[in-house]
Structure 1
Amino acid sequence: FIIATFIIALFNGCVIFSSSQVLDTKDIQVFKVTVNGQDAQFAFGEKHSFKGTSLKITFPFELRRGQEAIVEISFESSPKSSALQWFTPEQTSGKKHPFLFSQCQAIHCRAIFPCQDTPAVKLTYYAEISVPKELVALMSANRDGEVPDPEDSSRKIYRFSQNVPIPCYLVALVVGALESRKIGPRTLVWAEKELVDKSAFEFSEAEAMLKTAEDLAGPYVWGQYDLLVLPPSFPYGGMENPCLTFVTPTLLAGDRSLSNVIAHEISHSWTGNLVTNKTWEHFWLNEGHTVYLERRIGGRLFGEQFRHFQALGGWRELQNT
């Protein structure tokens, strides 16, 4: 395995019901649970084909109103986790090292760690990822540096913190032989070295799009806005993971002609990531407002005719669907 350590330290958004807590899991083994340092009983519910299994934690004490409970879970995810895609070295561009990326939207975060896997609940998190020292780990969070792994000199630990509350589907992780190029005051583009320079050229308009989005929607609160170019098997054009947008290499047209996808993912920093649909039944609230903001960015940068052209294309596509 690439990962040795994965710690979710802050479940600020979790809703706790009196003396117990119910979390979502899928293909996860749980070894031990403590609440405020005391051993707690836990039990899995009935397994569902795609939702997974509920995990009920019974507290060793009655939780009083206003009392803080720190729940620590020792667990292990499955190599077959529906949230994680693992590559052999032969499946990467460099052919030398393995590669891992996650995709948690819509309800796959529960296949990485126990959580309340609904967009109605938001959390902050802190994570430490231990990887072989020739690899790089990135997450949907701000980077807090790297240190040697004290338990293994061949590895290093990357630290991350996400201090803006997010729904679980925006927790993201990638590990691979990655390089970066700076393309703006708050933007790096990450990719395997075979694609990183081409990616830097393709997405060089990111800062202009960010500034335009701020003019339209208010300050960008996430700090860093990085882009990660994934292997071709990534199943979406882009995924708006905070601080680290995932994009497909099929956007690398060589002439920046597909950059509207980046405007779309940037827009999600406000519509979706900050203000989120409460249930997946109303996913259109995330995507509809994001498409609107994406087109407004395009109109500011490339002219109102460009925005109208995109809108006409979208209307035609909706009619065909």
Structure 2
Amino acid sequence: MCVSSATIDLSTQANIDEIKTTHVHLNWNVDFENQNLHGNVVLDLQTLVDNVDKVVLDTSYLDIKAVHFGDQVLKHQVAERYASLGSALTIQVPTVEKAGTNFQIKIDYATTENCTAVQFLKPEQTLGGKHPYLFSQSEPIHGRAMIPCQDSPSVKVTYSASVRSHLPVVMSALQTGVDEDADKEVGFKTYHFSQKTSIPSYLIAIAVGNLVGQEIGPRSTVWCEPEMIEQAAWEFSDTESFVATGEDLLTPYEWGRYDLLVLPPSFPYGGMENPCLTFVTPTLLAGDKSAVNVIAHEISHSWMGNLVTTNAWKHYWLNEGWTVFIERKILGRLYGEATRQFEALSGLKSLQESVDLFGKDSLKTVLNPDLRNGADPDDFFSKVPYEKGFNFLYHIEKVVGGPSIFEPYMKAYVQRFASTSISTEDWKAFLFEYMEKTHGAEMVKKLNTIDFDTWINKPGMPPVDPEFDTSLADACYDLAKRWDEARHSDDLSFSAKDIENFSAGQKIVFLEKLTDSEPLPHHLVQKMDELYNFTSNHNADLRLRWQQVCLMTSYEPIYPEVVKFITEQGRMKFVRPLYRLLHQAKNGAQLAVDTYLEHKSFYHPIAAQLIEKDIGLVKSL
């Protein structure tokens, strides 16, 4: 089908209006000594208009060595760097007279030390401590730091790869074979991969290290360093139930495998939905499966984001808002509607924190933000597209009449837009088209009661109170109220039994609620920890919330625990708010700066850039 290009992607410098990439083949050598990937990329291209005489690609800090068109060496020029968008690579090609013409170019190149897409770890930065490691993270616009490409989600490609390495290699594709090196003394192998479902450039991913795999389901293997394989296999043993529930809600899972890679601690995200191989943080290994909801989220991306993709980062909410919505549908199916509502309440709290951080009138709280003038999509990364997007879809579901009407539409939406990239305008047009065709003019009248413009284009919190069910949250709220009131009385009738029946999620919501009130006095914080043992808890989300409660009141005994937490893992969800709060706390500013500077090399480049803005080392936009 033909999908409109209602929005130009302002985050690419490639000439995507004149030419498109259809397939990418990578020939890479993994060089741990020089900390780079080097080799070549072969791009299959197709002209979209007549008389094309150049190919313009996105690059960022790449060393471009040569460009070939068959046996011909082509002239090329790397432009000066522009804002966050990198340097345009312009390649002069023999004039292609007719639209629809296919041709191929090969680019010899290497990544450089400034690469923001690939992080090389020294052995001491890994769990095993014996072998180096590398992993990539290309979302949103870091694919151009790893591959000269049309780095736009509007361009979806199939890809293949041949990667030579002395350590095992995994990629966001299916492995098709492994060749022993001719010189077996060297110990190198070449790993071959193929991804036959088209994906945007940001989903091309690689990891190399001392990796082992263990089957955890009929189509799932967990990969990680051998030191954590048993724990990881146990923690993620329910993965198949998430995949199967997603299929029941939407369409058959078409990627072949749903494998998981547990990365070293410096991975900056909870998970990255790389197709066939979700990357996840080791902070999910809580020992009690209390943090595996992230897997439901990443599995949901198999349809929302990976299969149906935003065509520009302005429309990022189409990836993330839809994914959160499906994630919570999966959790509701598996654990009951009360659980879905409880998760939605917690998400609303996170959204309020993002809006408070940016300011209720900030353009960064708009569902469709303005990314003109070289704006960096990373600067807009927050809970806004996730939770405001979820609330938007949740509201629409209520208006049209509930799940019985909305869930068939969800399936039709995936079927309609699978393997394409779309805009918010495309999404809205199909919503109205489907509802009118399936349910008639009266349903369109219901849709027209929704203030789409405010939801999509205005800043701040959602314009409608979602009225989530609070049945699982009420006990958390009541306990938080008691502690808040205790500051004004001598009644400290609390005990460990207060939370003995709370789930990990309920404990987190209790702590979240406390952050809505004035900071607690230190004697109450101390008493709470004596009773509830929050400081020693291993659930990373709970550690975050407890440490936030303590930092908000400048409770200095927690400072060493905060430093420990923000230096043993690099997940931005945890390190960024804790760095900010430590920097704001009494006697904490210099500690935050010193801690960051001492551990800067530990963090992923994307995380490092944002932490520096958070604690004032560089000016934030």
- Fold conserved (TM > 0.5)? yes
Once the two structures are superposed, the pairs formed by residues 11-50 of structure 1 within 5 Å of their partners are: 11=44, 18-50=52-84
12-21 or 280-289, which moves further after superposition?
Answer: 12-21
Q: Which residue does 1:52 correspond to in 2?
A: 86
CA contact (8 A) 1:83 1:109 kept: yes
Q: Which residue does 2:188 correspond to in 1?
A: 155
Number of aligned positions between the proteins: 319
| Per-residue deviation, 1:14 | 8.4
Q: Which residue does 2:304 correspond to in 1?
A: 271
224-233 or 310-319, which moves further after superposition?
Answer: 310-319
SS at match of 2:319: helix
Once the two structures are superposed, the pairs formed by residues 11-160 of structure 1 within 5 Å of their partners are: 11=44, 18-132=52-166, 135-150=167-182, 153-160=186-193
Once the two structures are superposed, the pairs formed by residues 224-239 of structure 1 within 5 Å of their partners are: 224-239=257-272
CA contact (8 A) 2:67 2:106 kept: yes
| Per-residue deviation, 1:194 | 0.7
Q: In the aligned structure 2, how far is the partner of 1:141 from the partner of 1:14?
A: 26
Change (3 A) 1:268 1:47: same
| Per-residue deviation, 1:313 | 1.6
Change (3 A) 1:216 1:13: farther
What is the aligned-residue identity percentage?
48
CA contact (8 A) 2:47 2:98 kept: no
Q: 1:289 aligns with which of 311, 322, 338?
A: 322
Deviations 1:231-270 (A, max 9, x none): 1110110000001100000000111111110000000000
Q: In the aligned structure 1, how far is the partner of 2:40 from the partner of 2:68?
A: 15
Deviations 1:266-310 (A, max 9, x none): 000000001111111111111000000000000111111111111
Residue type of the alignment partner of 1:294: E
Query: Is 1:245 the counterpart of 2:278 in the alignment?
Result: yes
Q: 1:259 aligns with which of 286, 292, 312?
A: 292
| Per-residue deviation, 1:12 | 6.0
Query: Is 1:175 the counterpart of 2:208 in the alignment?
Result: yes
Q: Which residue does 1:185 correspond to in 2?
A: 218
Q: Which residue does 1:209 correspond to in 2?
A: 242
Change (3 A) 1:214 1:8: farther
Q: In proportion to residue count, which structure has more helix?
A: 2
Q: In the aligned structure 2, how far is the partner of 1:182 from the partner of 1:210?
A: 15
CA contact (8 A) 1:128 1:159 kept: yes
Which is bigger in relative contact order (C-alpha 8 A, separation at least 6)?
1
42-51 or 76-85, which moves further after superposition?
Answer: 42-51
Deviations 1:179-238 (A, max 9, x none): 111001110000101111100000111101000000001011111110000011101100
Q: In the aligned structure 1, how far is the partner of 2:290 from the partner of 2:178?
A: 36
**TM-score calculated relative to the size of structure 2:** 0.50
Q: Which residue does 2:544 correspond to in 1?
A: none
Q: In the aligned structure 1, how far is the partner of 2:46 from the partner of 2:351?
A: 36
Q: In the aligned structure 1, how far is the partner of 2:342 from the partner of 2:266?
A: 30
| Per-residue deviation, 1:151 | 6.0
Which of these two proteins has the greater Rg computed from alpha carbons? 2
161-170 or 5-14, which moves further after superposition?
Answer: 5-14
Q: In the aligned structure 2, how far is the partner of 1:35 from the partner of 1:110?
A: 21
Q: In the aligned structure 1, how far is the partner of 2:122 from the partner of 2:242?
A: 35
13-22 or 150-159, which moves further after superposition?
Answer: 13-22
Residue type of the alignment partner of 1:108: H
Q: In the aligned structure 2, how far is the partner of 1:63 from the partner of 1:159?
A: 35
CA contact (8 A) 1:277 1:283 kept: yes
CA contact (8 A) 1:242 1:269 kept: yes
Q: Which residue does 2:372 correspond to in 1?
A: none
222-231 or 34-43, which moves further after superposition?
Answer: 34-43
**TM-score calculated relative to the size of structure 1:** 0.94
Q: Which residue does 1:197 correspond to in 2?
A: 230
* Structure 1 portions without partners, runs of 5+: none
| Per-residue deviation, 1:66 | 3.1
CA contact (8 A) 1:7 1:128 kept: no
Residue type of the alignment partner of 2:114: K
Q: In the aligned structure 1, how far is the partner of 2:96 from the partner of 2:47?
A: 17
CA contact (8 A) 1:141 1:243 kept: yes
CA contact (8 A) 1:36 1:69 kept: no
Q: In the aligned structure 2, how far is the partner of 1:316 from the partner of 1:95?
A: 39
Deviations 1:102-155 (A, max 9, x none): 1000111111110011111111111011111xx210111111121112366420
SS at match of 1:246: strand
SS at match of 1:245: strand
* Structure 2 portions without partners, runs of 5+: 1-30, 355-621
